[in-house]
Amino acid sequence: MNRKKFIRNIGLGAGVLAFSPIISACSKEEFITNEDFLISLPIPDEINAASFSLSAAKTTTDISKDIRLSGFQINESFPSPTIRKSKGDPVNISFKNEIGQESIIHWHGFIIPPDMDGHPRDAVSSGQNYEYKFTVNQRAGTYWYHPHPDKLTGEQVYKGMAGFYIIEDEEEKALNLPSGKFEIPLLIQDRKVNGSGEIVYNPSRPEKMMTGILGDQILINGGPTPYHEVESSVYRLRLLNGSNARIYNIAFKDNTPYTVIGADGGLLPSPVDTSELLLAPGERADILVDFSKFANNNVKLISKIFEIPSSGGMMGNMMGSGGSEQGTGFSLMEFRIDKSITGAEFSIPEQLSESNFPLRSESSKTRQIRLSMQMMQGHTINGKRFSMNRVDEQVKQGDTEIWEFINETNEPHPMHVHAVQFKVLERSGNRGLIPTEKGWKDTVLVMPDERVQVIMKFTSEKGLYVFHCHNLEHEDSGMMANFEVI
């Protein structure tokens, strides 16, 4: 089913949809069928300085000859510039807000002081600045930054404010992983495009309360379904799901396997081979792809069809989502392999890093975090919507705890905890742990009716932080809570 036909069908009345076997059959087919891949993959500029400014302003961007975004840019770049630093580096960043709304920047995955973390209470009005000063103390890994004001995060990320924050360290450098042109950052996002070619952010009530906003156009580094030319060699792809709500199942169309080497918090203990990988909003994955292994010169990176248990996604679409439902398969981008050029030989190490994960026996407490839908309130955490100054949980600095996320809704929730990296212990049901969950995480996907246990040690400075669903429509409608390190 092509994109125009899909959109036309979605435009039919809910009564027709409810009884149409065609819609049921097509709901998981490709809704992006562009086989031309006309735009070369954009690569964001990098910032390496110790002191710099991030200036956010209103702008209009022509994404292609057919698609336009009236939104926001940081440093006149869409997507936002990539920041690359080394562990131990001091940084001084001046965030300048000129977007016409209050805003604040969160350094996703960092363990830094509470006044540097981007808590919504620290949001500054348009025309004001916020000064960040901290030392990068993270393991090497693929991190990112994005706005975090209360009730406005979804809109500001959707309209263009998000970028990579890549950290390097000596442990990773010793592995001599692919770098330079053999290292490719891929920020994956979906967008809704109206009949005039404008990207619009106007979530319906069902999108706010149920599915989150699901778009019908995929952007990679701001380019719609692009292509990228590669050599017949091993590449490192840094994958970041920067979408508001959409989950991707990363695969190649011919099911060629690849190797997962990193997750949210850096390198895994050892590499894991797979042919598909779920990536929820906020999650990252580093993978190695050997392009000499592909039979054809042109290979497609896709999001493979997958199922959401007991999902209300289709109902959300019928009630006004307008995009393809969660779990639909579609193309992401195309790699064009020049087999006349062969890169240097590379052998994947059997061990990647030393990861001293906390043990169950070290845990002082297990907390149950219930993810629910409350009548007339929407999504809640332990029955409550977010309140800026209410402390929902208190943890002792230095303590190790197990948190059990219990999803009592019919929608998936990628749960993100600020100021900590955790290890996923177990998941109820048959899904089990996926390759990235063998490493350090800061965001974990909790499917409908699932219980997921994570273990973490709270080493951050004392103060107030948040945890929330990284479906940004859920977060903005109140699915966020404060925790205090005491």
> Does 46-169 match 360-485 in CATH topology?
yes
Q: Which of 39-43, 46-50, 78-82, 307-311 has the lowest mean pLDDT?
A: 307-311
- At 323 the pLDDT is 57
Q: Report CA Rg, the chain.
A: 21
Measure the CA–CA gap between 402 and 391, rounded to whole angstroms. 19
Name the CATH architecture for the domain at 180-338: Sandwich (2.60)
User: What DSSP state is assigned to residue 413?
Assistant: E
Q: What is the pLDDT of residues 254-297, one digit of tens each?
A: 999 999 999 999 999 999 999 999 999 999 999 999 999 999 99
Six-digit token string for 309: 């248990």
Q: What is the pLDDT of residues 234-261, one digit of tens each?
A: 999 999 999 999 999 999 999 999 999 9
Name the CATH architecture for the domain at 46-169: Sandwich (2.60)
Residues 429-433 have a mean pLDDT of 91
Assess whether pLDDT exceeds 90 at residue 418: yes
Measure the CA–CA gap between 242 and 327, rounded to whole angstroms. 16
Query: CA angle, 275 as apex, 273 and 280 as ends, to 5°?
Result: 100
- At 209 the pLDDT is 86
Q: What is the pLDDT of residues 100-109, one digit of tens each?
A: 999 999 999 9
Residues 441-458 have a mean pLDDT of 98
Measure the CA–CA gap between 474 and 160, rounded to whole angstroms. 19
Residues 475-482 have a mean pLDDT of 97
- At 342 the pLDDT is 80
- At 378 the pLDDT is 81
Structure confidence at residue 35 as a pLDDT band (50, 70, 90): low
Residues 6+ apart with CB under 8 A from 35: none
E strand residue ranges, 169-265: 183-191, 198-199, 217-220, 223-224, 227-231, 234-241, 248-252, 258-263
Six-digit token string for 336: 């064009």
- What are the domain boundaries of the chain? 46-169, 180-338, 360-485
- At 22 the pLDDT is 26
Q: What is the pLDDT of residues 368-393, one digit of tens each?
A: 999 998 876 789 999 999 999 999 99
Q: What is the pLDDT of residues 192-238, one digit of tens each?
A: 999 999 999 999 988 988 999 999 999 999 999 999 999 999 999 99
- At 26 the pLDDT is 41
Assess whether pLDDT exceeds 90 at residue 461: yes
Q: Does domain 360-485 have CATH number 1.10.443.10?
A: no
- At 6 the pLDDT is 33
Q: What is the pLDDT of residues 314-349, one digit of tens each?
A: 444 444 445 578 999 999 999 999 988 887 778 899
- At 1 the pLDDT is 36
What's the burial of 205, exposed, middle or buried (CB within 10 Å: 0-12/13-18/19+)?
Answer: exposed
Mean pLDDT for all residues in the chain: 90
Residues 308-312 have a mean pLDDT of 66
Which pTM value belongs to this model? 0.91
Question: In percent, how much of the chain has pLDDT > 70?
Answer: 90
